[in-house]
Structure formats: C-alpha cells, structure tokens
Amino acid sequence: MALLRKKPVIILAVFITLFQILLFYYYTLSVNQEVRAIRADLSSQASTLTSNIEERVSIVSGISSFIQTVGFDAEPAVIDRYLSTAYRSTNHLMNIVVAPGGIIKYLYPLTGNTAVYNKSLLLDPELASPGLIQETIRTRAITIDGPRTLAQGDYGLVIRQALFQGNTFLGIVSATLRVDDIISHFMSGGAQVYVTRGNDTYLFGDRPGKGGTPISLPVRLYNQDWMLHTSLSPGNKGKTLLSVFLIDLAFLSVITSVLYSLSRQKKFSRELEHTVSVRTRDLRISERLYEKLAHYDSLTEIPNRRFFMEEFDRLLRMAGPDRTFTLLFFDLNRFKEINDTLGHSAGDKVIRVLARRIHGARLPCRLFARTGGDEFVMLFEDLPRERIPEIAERLAAVAAEPLEISGTYLGLSTSIGISLYPEHSTKKEDLLKYADMAMYQAKGQNGRGYFVFNEQLHEKLQQKTMISKYLLTALRKHEFVLHYQPQVHAATGRLTGMEALVRWNHPEKGLLPPGAFISAVEEAGLMTQLTDWIIREVCRQLADWKQEGLDVPRISINISNSWFYNRNLLPALMSILEEYGLPPQVLEFEITESTALLEEHYPLLQEMRNLGIIVSVDDFGTKYSSLNYLKHFPVNKIKIDRTFITGIGNSSIDETIIKSIVFVASQLGYDLVAEGVENTEQAAFLMSLGCMNVQGYLFYRPLPAEEIRDLLMRQADGLAGRAGAL
C-alpha cells in the first residue's frame, strides 16, 4: 500500500505489461486450440479419404481374385457380367478395366470409355502416368495413379493391380474413381481442404484464401505420398484477435478511467489540502487573535483579568512550600471625576498612559494586569516584606507624575491594597478580596496611598459577610426600623419635615447604624427591596399618625440609584399611597448627586415632581463642581452637605461655598435645607444667609417613631415650636 502511494506509475506500468502478456498468452492459447481443432478435423477428413479409396481398392482386389479364379480366357460374357455387378456395387466409379497382357479388353461401362478400348497400358503413354504401369507390375502391389486427366477426357484417380501366375505377368485390373465425387463426398465439412502430392503439386480440393495459418497432414496411400492442407482462416484468427483486443480495450479504458478519477481525486485532494491548510492557517490566526483578545486588554495591551486569574491560579498551584506572593490591587483616586468631567476618551488616555508608565517602570513583578475600569493588579514573587513600602511608593510615584490631557495637567494618585500569600490566605479569590478591601482602606486614610491587609480588616470583612448573609432574613423578619430626624425652621423651631433613616435591629448586635450594612445591602442586590419596604413603612407610619389626628410634616426618604431601575415604579408608588389614603405631597425623595446627573432618570423625576413629590439632592457639593450642573437638575430642593456646615467659623472656603450655593439656589428657585447643624454659630450663619431650613443634632437627633409621635403631639399643643426655636 505504501509502495502504491510512493511509485504508483511504476506499479501501474508493471500491471499493464503483465496484463498484456497474459492477453497475448490467452490469444496464442486460443489460436492453438483452434489449430488443434482444425488439425483434428483434418485428420478425420484424411481417414474419410483413405477409407473411401480403400473401399474402391477392395473392389479392384475383388476383381483381381475373380480373374485369377476364372482366368483371362474365361467366357467374356462372364467377365463382363462380373464387372457390371462390381461396378454397380459401389458408386463414384468411372469404370472398371481388365487388361489381359496390358491390353484393355474388358471395360465397364463401355459408354464414355470407348477411347481406351483395346489400347495397351504398357505401350500407350496417355493411359497412365509415366513409369507407373511398370511400377505396378514390378512391385506387384496396388498402385494409385492420379488424379490426372484421363485419356477419355475426365479427371480421375486410377487404382491398379497387376495379376500374375507364378512369375508370369497376366494382366492388369484397374478401377477409376471420379475425383470430383470424392471431393464432394469427403470434403463436405466446413473447412476448405486441398490435397497435394508431395509438398506442392496440387491434386484436388478447395484452396483456402491467402493469409491464413497453414495446417497440413501427410497421408500415405499405397505408392502415393499426399498432403492434406487447410488453414486457420485470417477471419477466425481475426475474431480471436478482436475479442482479445476488445478485452484489452475494456481493460485499458478501465485503467484510464481509474487513473483519471485518481488524478481528479488527487487534484481534488490537493485542492482540499490547500483549502484545509489555508483554513487552518486562518483559524490559527484567528485563534491567536482570539487568544490575544481573550487574554489581553485592548485599551492598554497588557494582560486582562482573565489572563491574570489563569496565571495566578497556575502560579499558586505550582508554588513550593517556601514561596511567597505579594498581591497589589490598586486604582486611581477620583478617576470617575476625570471620566465625568473630561469625557471617556480622556479617561481612556489616562488609563493607557498609566499602564504604559507602570510597565516601563520595570518593577520586579511576575504579573501585571488590568482587571477592569481603573483597576490594576500586580503580583510579586518572593518579595521580602520590608520591600513592600518601597515598591508601593515607587508605584504611587510613577502614577503621580503629572499627565497632560488637552492642555491641562492632571495630578493622579493611586490607592494600593496589598495582600500576602500564604500569610493572609492561600486562595486566589481571598487574596484578591483582601487586597481589594485593603485598597478601600487605603482610600480612607488620606495621603499614605497603600494599605496592607490585616486582622482587623479581616474581622470587618467577616462581619460584612455575616451581615449580607442575614440581610434577607432581616427583611423577612422585619428587623429593620425607621428613625426620623426632624427638619426645623431655624427661627421658629417649627417642624418643616422629617428624614426617615433606617436602622437594623440586629437580634444579637442590637441597633446597627446604616453605615454598618447599607453597602452590604447594595452589594447583595437587596437595596430595591429595602427601599420598597421603607416607602411602605413611611406611608404606614404617616397614615397611623394622621389617623391619630396628628399634623405630620412631609417625610423624606433616601433613595439609592438602583431603585430607579425598579420597573413599574410610579404605579407601584401610587398604589401604596392610595392604599394608605395619602396624597403624593407627603413624600420627599432624597437622591444623590450622581443619580441627579443621570439624564435617563429625568423623565421619571419630572413625573414625580408633577405628582407633587419633592425631589431633593442629598449631600450637595461633595462630589462634583456641582454649581455648574445645578441648573440642569430636575429637582426642587438642595441639601447642603454637613462637611460645609462643619467648616462654618473656621473655613472661609466652606463659608464661601455655602454662600454661593444659597445664592445660586435662590436664583434658580430651589428650596434649601442645611444638614448636620450642630451648633448655634452654624445656625446663625445659615439664618444670616436666609437658609432657614435646618437639620442637625442642635435641634434633633434621629428619633424612634414613638418619640416623634410625642414630639408631634407636643407641637400640636404648641410646645415643640418653642423647644426647637433659637
């Protein structure tokens, strides 16, 4: 099989040659077989011929015996009668002759033979072939003369016998055969046969046409050496040849078509091979491309999160007992601000430049990858603990180099969280989580830039995990409670509103402030559910108090951004209000600046306001240079953040900011409330600006519902206003 694949042409040539030899062999075999059949036929013809002549010879012998018995001097009539009987006993005889002393005296039939009557066989040369009479007498054996043209004119064959008495020659007896009759008798078979004397003198028979294969058979008849000839006709040979040729043709055409289909197949498989190889190459290219896309970050061209995770996993699995890893998780501080104020392309550029710089700094890290947004990770192998500050500071310094974006220089800063293998954990998920936590810790501590994960952080994390685990149960078991912090008119102390603030009445830990669980609620995706509960609880409380005849001011509810993605939001809200028989005006929604910035919420916020719900911006001024945005916000009210209020009396910047906010808000027609008012100086400053609405410990802390009820009752009695007034 292997040889067939290597040298197909040689194999094929050998095969064809062998077949041709085989065909030739078959051809000669067929011809020989035919020749043998013809030879057999010829020999049967020969025996027919000899037996025919023998039969006539026996007539001659019979006459000889008769003459010997009766003698030549017997009654001529007796001899004549005998001759006529003998003549009639067989056919094909031309005549019977008895020649005493060689003179033809008795002749039967006389008719047609009179020409030879009384002629001497010994003297007349026309009557026999030269020397043959003498031979007949000398040999005393039967001789055959002819076929030859007889003296009578016919063509015949003469059988003679000489008769003796002792040594005395008495005469000759002969019978003449008609050669034509012999021919028609014994050569009536299919093949053309002719007879020669010796090898060449033609005697009688049909000569075949030229071109055949001659076949001859010698026949010895008394004194004659004859040859019977026939031939394998070219036609017969041709037929065999034709059949061989047809077989060969069929064979060759099969071979040709096999070769053709093989070559086509070869061509086809070559094309297929080519196509396959092209496709394979394309596939490899796209595989590599995919590999790159899958493992590399398209923006920075450094490895992505997936690559990092796979590699980190591999390194941890291969790590020997003494190996240590240091994982740095870091992001840019205030990156969101850059994105929001300068646009996403500027943000992209910052990320790109940062990645390039850090890459160029050639820190001795094993892996460096972008895990998402402005977040990066770096993994160090066997980094001595005492080198961590040096590495972290170098990283922070590289990031802090001024970066020019469309003409302005940005000062970037990073927060780096660090976790250690195996000290903190041996699992990559833990190490990443811890480094992430440490990074948030680093953000909290202004200036230092990095934080190494520690036990306290671990505990905090555990508590957070525990909290998120129990949140759902807490929701179901109604472990959340609302406290309400009144807002008052600074001059009169009259209640102008209340803010609902959630607490978790934890069965073991007691009352937990929102700071301990709000972010966990957000992360657990339960914020919408909690907000829904708060809205319903506020409505229930309002309805309760109204039922008691109390005059309740508007209650504001903190709404997180995720709640806005609640489907069917307004109809659900309206149905709750309807359920408790409340008008929409009893509610105020506090939203964050970032929510207020999202234009997608504008139609909804507008609808709420159309219904009479107040929408206010919480913690105003903390996140953005918001005065510019202020005129776009679809809100009615602004809450000046506590951080500015704290600055009253000791920060002229904060005081200026407050003044600007109050001015712009009054210009744009927004209501104002100042939160976190803790002392009279702050209250007085705000009042001097005309900002009368205040909320803070100076007036009231957030209070449980029962205390608010008392307060409302007292206010109804005209007591509360005096208590709260300055």
Does the footprint of Ca ion cover residue 588 (CB under 5 A)? no
Nearest Cα neighbor of 591 from 630, 622, 564, 555 is: 564
Strands 375-381 vs 403-405: parallel, antiparallel or unpaired = unpaired
Residues 624-663 that bind Ca ion (CB under 5 A): none
* Distance in angstroms (rounded) separating the CA atoms of residues 380 and 391: 10
**Where are the strands (E) in 532-575, listed by range?**
555-558
Q: CB under 5 to 8 A by kind: which of ligand C2E, Ca ion, none does 702 bind?
A: ligand C2E
* Distance in angstroms (rounded) separating the CA atoms of residues 169 and 164: 5
Output Rg (C-alpha) for the chain, integer angstroms.
69
Does the footprint of ligand C2E cover residue 514 (CB under 6 A)? yes
CB neighbours of residue 700 within 10 Å: 21
* Distance in angstroms (rounded) separating the CA atoms of residues 49 and 37: 18
Does the footprint of ligand C2E cover residue 486 (CB under 6 A)? no
Using the rule CB under 6 A, which residue among 112, 238, 513, 690 binds ligand C2E?
513
Does the footprint of ligand C2E cover residue 702 (CB under 6 A)? yes
Q: Least distance to ligand C2E from the beta carbon of 380, Å?
A: 38
* Distance in angstroms (rounded) separating the CA atoms of residues 719 and 722: 6
Identity of the residue, 311 or 619, whose beta carbon is nearer to Ca ion in the bound complex: 619
Q: Least distance to ligand C2E from the beta carbon of 587, Å?
A: 13
DSSP 472-538: HHHHHTT-EEEEEEEEEETTT--EEEEEEEEEEEETTTEEEPGGGTHHHHHHTT-HHHHHHHHHHHH
Does the footprint of ligand C2E cover residue 333 (CB under 6 A)? no
Q: CB under 5 to 8 A by kind: which of Ca ion, ligand C2E, none does 205 bind?
A: none
Identity of the residue, 93 or 674, whose beta carbon is nearer to Ca ion in the bound complex: 674
Q: Least distance to ligand C2E from the beta carbon of 619, Å?
A: 6
CB neighbours of residue 10 within 10 Å: 11
Q: Which residue has the tokens 């671990």?
A: 458
Using the rule CB under 6 A, which residue among 41, 135, 678, 707 binds ligand C2E?
678
* Distance in angstroms (rounded) separating the CA atoms of residues 135 and 521: 151
Q: CB under 5 to 8 A by kind: which of ligand C2E, Ca ion, none does 534 bind?
A: ligand C2E
| Six-digit token string for 84 | 């006529």
Does the footprint of ligand C2E cover residue 502 (CB under 6 A)? yes
Q: CB under 5 to 8 A by kind: which of Ca ion, ligand C2E, none does 424 bind?
A: none
Q: CB under 5 to 8 A by kind: which of Ca ion, ligand C2E, none does 449 bind?
A: none
Does the footprint of ligand C2E cover residue 619 (CB under 6 A)? yes
Does the footprint of ligand C2E cover residue 697 (CB under 6 A)? yes
Give Cα separations from 373 to 292, 352, 357, 369, 377 (angstroms). 19, 11, 17, 12, 12
With beta carbons less than 8 A apart as the criterion, state whether 340 and 444 touch: no
Using the rule CB under 5 A, which residue among 619, 655, 678, 707 binds Ca ion?
619
CB neighbours of residue 689 within 10 Å: 17
Does the footprint of Ca ion cover residue 678 (CB under 5 A)? no
Residues 546-575 that bind ligand C2E (CB under 6 A): 558, 560
Per-residue binder mask for ligand C2E (CB under 6 A), 620-659, x = binder: ----------------------x-----------------
Does the footprint of ligand C2E cover residue 392 (CB under 6 A)? no
* Contact stretch for ligand C2E (CB under 6 A) within 1-9, 18-26, 41-49, 500-508: 500-508
- Indicate the length of the chain as a whole number: 726
CB neighbours of residue 351 within 10 Å: 22
* Contact stretch for ligand C2E (CB under 6 A) within 77-85, 420-428, 621-629, 674-682: 674-682
Per-residue binder mask for Ca ion (CB under 5 A), 536-565, x = binder: ----------------------x-------
Nearest Cα neighbor of 90 from 45, 40, 55 is: 55
What does the angle CA 135 – CA 140 – CA 143 come to, to the nearest 5 degrees? Answer: 55
The count of chain residues that interact with ligand C2E, using the rule CB under 6 A, is 22
Q: CB under 5 to 8 A by kind: which of ligand C2E, Ca ion, none does 696 bind?
A: ligand C2E
Does the footprint of ligand C2E cover residue 673 (CB under 6 A)? no
Give Cα separations from 419 to 182, 311, 366, 373 (angstroms). 131, 17, 15, 21
* Distance in angstroms (rounded) separating the CA atoms of residues 560 and 577: 20
Using the rule CB under 6 A, which residue among 95, 230, 485, 528 binds ligand C2E?
485
With beta carbons less than 8 A apart as the criterion, state whether 694 and 677 touch: yes
In the sheet that 325-332 helps form, which strands lie side by side, from edge to edge?
367-372, 375-381, 325-332, 414-421, 450-452
Q: Which residue has the tokens 């043959």?
A: 132
Does the footprint of ligand C2E cover residue 618 (CB under 6 A)? yes
* Distance in angstroms (rounded) separating the CA atoms of residues 217 and 214: 10
Does the footprint of Ca ion cover residue 618 (CB under 5 A)? yes
| Six-digit token string for 683 | 């209250």
* Distance in angstroms (rounded) separating the CA atoms of residues 680 and 699: 10
Using the rule CB under 6 A, which residue among 360, 515, 549, 718 binds ligand C2E?
515
Q: Least distance to ligand C2E from the beta carbon of 575, Å?
A: 21
Q: Least distance to Ca ion from the beta carbon of 344, Å?
A: 29
Does the footprint of ligand C2E cover residue 501 (CB under 6 A)? yes
Does the footprint of ligand C2E cover residue 510 (CB under 6 A)? no
Q: Least distance to Ca ion from the beta carbon of 622, Å?
A: 9
Q: Least distance to ligand C2E from the beta carbon of 428, Å?
A: 33
Per-residue binder mask for Ca ion (CB under 5 A), 590-609, x = binder: x-------------------
* CA dihedral sign, ordered 547, 549, 550, 552: positive
Using the rule CB under 6 A, which residue among 100, 146, 347, 676 binds ligand C2E?
676
Task: Report the interface residues with Ca ion, using CB under 5 A.
Answer: 558, 590, 618-619, 675
Task: Report the interface residues with ligand C2E, using CB under 6 A.
Answer: 485, 500-502, 513-515, 518, 534, 558, 560, 618-619, 642, 675-678, 695-697, 702
